Structure 1
């Protein structure tokens, strides 16, 4: 019996259970991710995604399985980005973060815990993905993103997720994504507040990101961040990434959403379209 026949026999009601996924990987000597892709190619949904079916089709789930997302930063925003992208089924994740977990991270960073203090954030992120969705391939890079390593880090990316806390590095990331024509989903947080925007190929959101803010780090250095702000903003970022990867819905192109959780207000600001210099 080949893999195709195994999948057909093990599927029930258009779903392929995790136990069968494990058995297939062992029997045919392939990865969980390879099993998942083969299942989706047969028009069958891995059972773990069955609650996606009314929102994300099998064909779109296959697109997610074959997608590569790069998450720059694995802290407050980045931890939630990793968690949600893995549960969504984005098949290849690259997690970039030079830092280790410290005690002040415990109030908001979903991947942190007292037992993990001192551990590299990127390494912990990869281990977490292995626990919740072993079909996802994760590359953990304990390094700081910079122009020097950017092209290697972003190679093959279908979308880049901004989980940074440095304004200079955020602007550099946006510039490099423009140069490489890779969609970027920006998110930033501070206290009760946050913002989300998408930069698609040909666009430039840099002039609109931080206005006249002159400090090297964002407003979170003054306001701090409670547990709920990164969860909300990262979830909006993942929704944006999902739409971009699937080519569905309407993205935040030339728009920025501002979130005020203190007064539970969401406002939209139209951004002045600014074409990237690349290719002009």
Structure 2
């Protein structure tokens, strides 16, 4: 019996359970990624994505599984972005961050726990996402992003996600994405406030929005638990739309968020 025959025999109404995939992994020596791809390529939807089904087709789920996305920064924004993309089913994630967890990260960073203080953020991302969705390949890059290594870190990626807290590095990321001709989904947070936009090749949204100063105003205004969760979710939605060519991305416009007054304003760029 081959693995596809097994999966077809176990499927019900085009959906194959995680238990059946686990048997395929064990019996036929497949990785979880290979087992899920085999199912999706043959029109079978892994049950873990069942609740995606009303908004995403099986073909679109396959496209996500074949996609590669880089998340630059694995802290407040990046931890949430990584987890949401993994749960969505984006098959290849590059996690870039040179830092380790410190105690002040515990109030808002999804990947941070007291037991992981001193642990590299990218190592925590690999461990966490391996439990959340073993079919997702996470490539850790425990280094600071720069124009010198940017093209290597983003090689093969369909797009990049900005989860940084440094304006100069953010602008370097935008420049590297422009050179590689890939979109950049940008998010920024500070206290009650945040913003999201998506820059496509040829656009200059970020360069027009920022001057080359140090960190943003996050260190002045702080960050609670909910601001990064919200902004990261909006970034994940933008990633999904761009990868699938669906909907209207935030191109040449920035969604500015004020959670204190509960106002969402669109700024045209």
Q: TM-score, normalization: structure 1?
A: 0.94
Counterpart in 2 of 1:95?
95
Q: Deviations over 1:113-159 (max 9, x none)?
A: 10100000000001100010000001011110111111110000011
- 2:174 aligned residue: 174
Residue 118 (structure 1) aligns with: 118
Is residue 155 of structure 2 the alignment partner of residue 135 of structure 1?
no
CA distance in 1, matches of 2:10, 2:232: 36
1:128 and 1:249 map into 2 onto residues whose CA distance is 30
TM-score by length of 2: 0.98
Q: Does 1:249 align with 2:247?
A: yes
CA distance in 1, matches of 2:142, 2:63: 28
Structure 2 partner of 1:237: 235
Question: What's the secondary structure of 1:148's corresponding residue?
Answer: coil
Pairwise CA distance, 1:14: 1.6
- CA drift of 1:162 comes to 0.4
Match of 1:222 in 2: 220
**Cα distance in structure 2, aligned partners of 1:40 and 1:121:** 31
1:100 Cα deviation after fit: 0.3
Distance 2:214 2:265 in 1: 26
How far apart, CA to CA, are the structure 1 residues paired with 2:198 and 2:150?
A: 19
Distance in 1 (CA, whole Å) between partners of 2:166 and 2:201 is 23
Q: Any gaps of 5 or more consecutive residues in structure 2?
A: none
Structure 1: gaps of 5 or more residues: 272-280
Instruction: State the Cα distance separating 1:258 from its structure 2 match.
Output: 0.2
How many positions carry a matched residue from both structures? 269
